[in-house]
Amino acid sequence: MSAADLTISAARAALDTGELRATELLEAVLERAALTEAQLHAYLTIDHEGARRAAVDADAAIAEGRAGALTGIPIAVKDNMVTRGLDTTCASQILAGWKPPYDGTAVARLKEAGAVIVGKTNLDEFAMGSSTENSAFGMTRNPWDITRVPGGSSGGSAAATAIGSALGAYGSDTGGSIRQPASLCGIVGMKPTYGLVSRYGLVAFASSLDQIGPFGRTVEDAVTLLEGVAGYDPHDHTSWPGEMPDFRGSLGRGVEGLRIGVVDELSGDGYEPAVIARFEEVLAALESAGAEIRRASLPSFELAVSTYYLVAPAECSANLARFDGVRYGLREPGETVEQMMAATRASGFGPEVTRRILLGTFALSAGYQDAFYGQAQKVRTITINEFEQAYESVDVLVSPTSPTVAFEVGERSEDPLAMYLSDVCTIPSNLAGHPSISVPAGTDPNGLPIGFQILAPALGEEVLFRVADAVETLVGRAEMPVLEEVAR
């Protein structure tokens, strides 16, 4: 087995005992990327020189007894997280070639921890999409089946983690952009409580919804990655200033005595039979392990997609106004400033970003704001209240992560509504700001991964990881993709 196939915990043990050097681990990961990138296109930038310097420094830190949990671990970051001196494009032509002058807080913490940042991963442009087909620099493909999408918008991070061109990765989750690709790529993906990880240096899509979170091959790896970046940051005024939840303390405790609520509204039409079948099998296993399974109804969930596609585009319309050709990024010629701005935005933004800007601008326009954006915010409040009521009688809620397995490339490109419905299960947690996680739950008859989603109340990461760890133990890890099929 290649070192690129190790979990983070296994790699940590090998590095600490001297069985493996950080430079050797990095070269194994870079070799895996060289074998697979032509087919997968998980990365937009691989920082060979910077990563090799970081690996040398990590070996020195390990030798001197200064190693932390992430020292020497090759990880990837989504290309909407700013990195000093390294291209940060958000997969958009409007930011092609832009090199930020600073590191975002999450990136800075990774560097301080001694992590080896392999590079920047592909995404749907400005994180707007569910398939990573909207990248201005070419789509990412699913390592389980390269004719299918990896999910989105953090598809590059998910694909890199699944195939071994990183041992773990970070993405951003605005409406499911970590959990949905984790489900489709057969790995663990987690969205923390809003404010638990600083958004300083995360290029904003929808500021009240965006959250950075980890991808890992195991629940324990996801915990390690979250610990590396979580914590208060004075640069982010929405950052949680209180005590951090105990992410790791509940691992291995099982689910005996826990009350698990099954969301009635997250099933039915549109859910593939294999997805429901695997979901029910996991529920049965949890019940056999001592959990109490209850039904839970949250009627506002049926309005979650509609609510999200008013709130998120409205915030995107405001956030993306800064990309005007004046301060940074692309600038197209024009006889006046107004013409230059119009030409720059028309040339720089892709069709999906343009669609969402137009939706958001309309929702905020005079005469429509109360009818659309205002009503959506009211529904969002109802959703939060329904969550609170549900958590009075259950400890966590569960659902499939995605109604389907990975769909074929191009299958939904011309049908925005079908694409948007890919996130029907994941959006509610973003509207409420609550943590949730996707854990592998086996495969369908064609061998494609299926995800099991666990939702918890705000700052409920401890019980979230407890249930996720139990699911992983009960179900086991799915077989990794056949590398030869991806590398050929």
Task: Evaluate whether 251 touches 223 at the Cβ level (below 8 Å).
Answer: yes
Active site residue 78: yes
Active site residue 153: yes
Sequence-distant (6+) residues with CB within 8 A of 414 are none
Q: ∠ CA 345-351-356 to the nearest 5 degrees?
A: 85
Q: Which of 6, 23, 16, 10 is nearest to 68 (CA)?
A: 16
Task: Evaluate whether 187 touches 158 at the Cβ level (below 8 Å).
Answer: yes
Single out the catalytic residue among 177, 239, 402, 429. 177
**What φ, ψ does residue 8 adopt, rounded to 5°?**
-65, -40
**Rounded to whole angstroms, how far apart are CA atoms 343 and 418?**
31
Question: CA gyration radius for the chain?
Answer: 21
Single out the catalytic residue among 9, 78, 120, 317. 78
Sequence-distant (6+) residues with CB within 8 A of 459 are 193, 196, 240, 242, 245, 435
Single out the catalytic residue among 153, 183, 436, 438. 153
Task: Evaluate whether 451 touches 184 at the Cβ level (below 8 Å).
Answer: yes
Instruction: Tell me which residues are annotated as active site.
Output: 78, 153, 177
